[in-house]
Amino acid sequence: MIDTLRTVFGFQTFRPNQENIIRSILAGKDVFAVMPTGGGKSLCYQLPAKMTEGTAVVISPLISLMKDQVNSARENGIPAAFMNSSMTAEEMSDVYLALKRNTIKLLYIAPERFAMPHFLAALKTFPISLFAIDEAHCISEWGHDFRPDYLSLSLIPKEFPDVPVAAFTATATQKVQGDIIQRIGLRTPLIVRASFNRENLFYQVKPKSRVESQMLGFLRAHHAESGIIYRTTRDSVMETADFLASKGIGALPYHAGLSPEERNKNQEAFNRDEAQVIVATIAFGMGIDKSNVRFVLHADLPKNMESYYQETGRAGRDGEPAHCLLLFGRGDIPKVRYFIDRIEDENERSILLRKLNRVVEYASHNVCRRRQLLGFFGEDYPKDNCGGCDICTGSVEQIDITVDAQLIMSAISETRQRFGIGHVVDIVTGADTKRVRELKHHEIKAYGVGKHNDKQHWRFLVGELLAQDMIRQEGDPYPVLKLTQKGLGVLYGREEAKALKRQEVISKTKPAAGSGSGQYDEALFERLRRLRKRMAEEHRVPPYVIFSDKTLHEMCRHLPATLPDMRRISGIGDAKLERYGEEFIREINKYLDENPDVAVPEGETDNFGSRVGVSKAGKKGKTVEETYEFFKKGMSLEDIAKLRKLSPSTISSHLEQLIREGREVDIDRLVDPAKRKEIGELFLSMGQWALNPVIEHFNGTVSYEEARIVRAWMLRGVNG
């Protein structure tokens, strides 16, 4: 099992809970697992599928994901296929033939296909190793995304009594968990409830004011990073995508009103890093498997905490830091309520209203975001400061809001507690509206007492008083403000009202405490990212399928110089090492050659005591000496490269090292003296040692190898 983990998937150790789940599946036991997005669910069924005889059937609700999931498995050397309605009869026949031959380890299908009698009958004729049900909450009517097609999955334990079933979801309360287990019919399953805490995600809520300007500022701070912007309506999706495109940002829309072809085209462009941003409704909620999403921006209020958790969970699936920003304005509440009010079932409407109120509390309470989010799922966060949200990282001071609170409460009291937030704020700010005049509220004492502050200030204050239970909202569908006992104590001067005032978080993407991410060479990362994109285009897969951002970051930290070095980088198994290893090593060495001042780490060790990222000199000592011996015999750089079956770039790096070490190297044999003088003068005039400007200046008449050799000769301090 450990050997498969390392050689196939390129990981040295399991993440929390993975090993227990895999051992149970291999032992033939059913499993129910609640694991957060990015927690490594797919490994839990892909690894057993690789190790066991037969085919693992993976049931997933989204056809749009299947292709990427199959590509990812194939890149790791696991034979995989999918069956869905987008395929031709010939393509379907090829998959059936492969199943008969037992050459497919992973088969992805939608729940609708499992419900087809002819497919079920065919499935019984193939050796099946396990069933994996993804997004299992869809089977529960208590879940936030119930899908009737999932109900047919209760047939699995009856029709395949000897095959283990593993059900996975990222979001399930205890009630939903029990419902899922009962509806599928899992047999005394291993139950795993992993922590809902995503340490690498940074949570932030900002008051919503000028939303277009706020989005633009946020995106400019996240230049060239992939991200998702969620909007409530299709119209707002289109307007936002058009606005961002007009500002030079690669943004595409995604909502249910677009044709399937356009949705697929836009999602594909986003997956392949051809578009920086996807602007979407919740129709995009589960439609993304992209691991390098660096931010999720909610420009409108989510409808419930489950949706918010799942949507923010699309960020940072690779475990690297990601930023989740919610722009909160109370004006969004009626928009969400509009959809809720159209539901006829009174009980369902009541449940959805309670869920909406929880989201409003989350956004308006000045309490650790992570603590609130985990608390919703019944998990206690043990630390006082999470280090990964705006509340815990902001500079917070307590301010006295008693006087302003009394002004708001006076307006509520004088109007007999019969009006909502908007009207009360109009009274306090002295707004000259038709309704205020008709009700003669411009004649009461509270009218205009707060005109020294704008409406945004008073709406914020109302939010604080609601959060601290000094006032409450009552009534449906248009809630009015009521004073509580605690609020009356403030109004009559028996108690004080306090609020936390916090400064803006300055950091762009602040990793949460304990996320384990270190610094990496950002310039090299950009180069490796471009190489990854080029190779992804050649192989016709999304870039994150080649390597995740996390894997590239590790390369940029450890600077692997050989295939064994590269093999120790997380996420690189045997198949990927063979396919891509040499290309990425070449790019890293080229970067180091062009930037000799970059420090190459020495002496690091992995979990097994092996040296990682040892300096090029240490790794290449023997091979450098071989190059030196051939050079002393009078061979040219090109002849040495041909003889040793190495690139001229590699041989020139050997000679560069020898020169800088002070060894005897006849520089005139490598670079013509006149050309050497010109190159040297250009280096001195530039005042820097970068190679690209030299190559560009000489329009290709000077090679990288020649420029490197001259640079090494000058840095050694030889005069010629």
Q: How far apart are CA 42 and CA 65, in angstroms?
A: 13
* Intrachain domains 2-193 and 201-394 with the same fold: yes
Per-residue confidence (pLDDT) for residue 425, from 0 to 100 = 94
The token pair that represents 579 in the structure block: 């396919």
Per-residue confidence (pLDDT) for residue 604, from 0 to 100 = 43
Percent of the chain with pLDDT over 90: 41
- The answer to whether residue 54 scores a pLDDT higher than 70 is yes
- The answer to whether residue 284 scores a pLDDT higher than 70 is no
Per-residue confidence (pLDDT) for residue 64, from 0 to 100 = 67
The domain at 616-716 falls in which architecture? Orthogonal Bundle (1.10)
Q: Which of 149, 128, 294, 288 is nearest to 227 (CA)?
A: 294
Per-residue confidence (pLDDT) for residue 607, from 0 to 100 = 35
Residues in Cβ contact with 70 at an 8 Å cutoff, skipping those fewer than 6 apart: 80, 81, 82, 106, 108
Strands 611-612 and 604-605: antiparallel
ω into residue 477 within 30 of 0, thus cis? yes
Region 24-33 average pLDDT: 95
On whether the CB atoms of residues 202 and 489 are closer than 8 A, the answer is no
Tell me the average pLDDT of the chain: 85
For 698-716, what is each residue's pLDDT tens digit? 876 888 778 878 888 887 7
Tokens 């019919």 locate to 185
Per-residue confidence (pLDDT) for residue 602, from 0 to 100 = 56
- Measured in degrees and rounded to the nearest 5, phi and psi for residue 230 equal -100, 130
**Amino acid occupying residue 566:** M
State the alpha helices, DSSP H only, in 568-644: 574-594, 616-632, 637-644
Per-residue confidence (pLDDT) for residue 135, from 0 to 100 = 85
Per-residue confidence (pLDDT) for residue 227, from 0 to 100 = 95
Region 50-69 average pLDDT: 86
Count how many Cα atoms sit within 13 Å of the Cα of residue 312 in the half-sphere of its side chain: 29
Tokens 């839990």 locate to 44
The token pair that represents 11 in the structure block: 């990981």
Instruction: For residue 293, name the pLDDT band (cuts at 50, 70, 90).
Output: very high
Is the sign of the CA dihedral 349, 351, 352, 357 positive or negative? positive
On whether the CB atoms of residues 441 and 422 are closer than 8 A, the answer is no
Region 621-645 average pLDDT: 83
- The answer to whether residue 719 scores a pLDDT higher than 90 is no
| Full 3-state SS string of 271-322 | HCCCCCEEEECHHHCCCCCCCCEEEEEECCCCCCHHHHHHHHCCCCCCCCCE
Q: How far apart are CA 435 and CA 408, in angstroms?
A: 18
For 419-438, what is each residue's pLDDT tens digit? 999 999 999 999 999 999 99
Q: How far apart are CA 382 and CA 385, in angstroms?
A: 9
Q: Where are the domains of the chain?
A: 2-193, 201-394, 397-502, 522-612, 616-716
| Full 3-state SS string of 435-474 | HHHHCCHHHCCCCCCCCCCCHHHHHHHHHHHHHCCCEEEE
Per-residue confidence (pLDDT) for residue 542, from 0 to 100 = 87
Backbone conformation region of residue 160, classed left if phi is above 0, alpha if psi is from -120 to 50, else beta: beta
For 557-582, what is each residue's pLDDT tens digit? 999 988 778 888 999 988 888 888 88
**pTM listed for this prediction:** 0.66
- The answer to whether residue 366 scores a pLDDT higher than 60 is yes
For residue 190, give the DSSP letter: E
Q: Which of 308, 265, 273 is nearest to 293 (CA)?
A: 273
Per-residue confidence (pLDDT) for residue 287, from 0 to 100 = 55
| Full 3-state SS string of 339-357 | HHHCCCCHHHHHHHHHHHH
For residue 153, give the DSSP letter: G
Per-residue confidence (pLDDT) for residue 189, from 0 to 100 = 95
Residues in Cβ contact with 716 at an 8 Å cutoff, skipping those fewer than 6 apart: 659, 660, 662
Per-residue confidence (pLDDT) for residue 509, from 0 to 100 = 43
Per-residue confidence (pLDDT) for residue 50, from 0 to 100 = 93
Per-residue confidence (pLDDT) for residue 59, from 0 to 100 = 93
| Full 3-state SS string of 11-74 | CCCCCCCHHHHHHHHHCCCCEEEECCCCCCHHHHHHHHHHHCCCEEEEECCCHHHHHHHHHHHH
Bridge partners of residue 228, in order along the sequence: 278, 296
Region 135-148 average pLDDT: 75
Q: Which of 440, 434, 433 is nearest to 416 (CA)?
A: 440
Instruction: For residue 459, name the pLDDT band (cuts at 50, 70, 90).
Output: confident
Q: How far apart are CA 109 and CA 116, in angstroms?
A: 12
Q: How far apart are CA 55 and CA 408, in angstroms?
A: 65
Region 628-645 average pLDDT: 87
Q: How far apart are CA 390 and CA 235, in angstroms?
A: 30
Q: How far apart are CA 104 and CA 540, in angstroms?
A: 21
Which CATH number among 2.40.37.10, 1.10.150.80, 3.40.640.10, 1.10.645.10 corresponds to the domain 522-612?
A: 1.10.150.80
Domain 201-394 has CATH 3.40.47.10: no
Question: Bigger pLDDT: 347 or 505?
Answer: 347
Region 391-412 average pLDDT: 86
Q: At what angle do helices 574-594 and 63-75 cross, to 10 degrees?
A: 80
The domain defined by 397-502 folds into: Arc Repressor Mutant, subunit A (1.10.10)
How large is the C-alpha radius of gyration of the chain? 31
The domain at 2-193 falls in which architecture? 3-Layer(aba) Sandwich (3.40)
Per-residue confidence (pLDDT) for residue 23, from 0 to 100 = 95
Neighbour-count burial of 492, counting CB atoms closer than 10 A to its CB (0-12 exposed, 13-18 middle, 19+ buried):
exposed
Region 513-519 average pLDDT: 50
For residue 677, give the DSSP letter: H
For the chain, what's the residue count? 720
- The answer to whether residue 649 scores a pLDDT higher than 70 is no
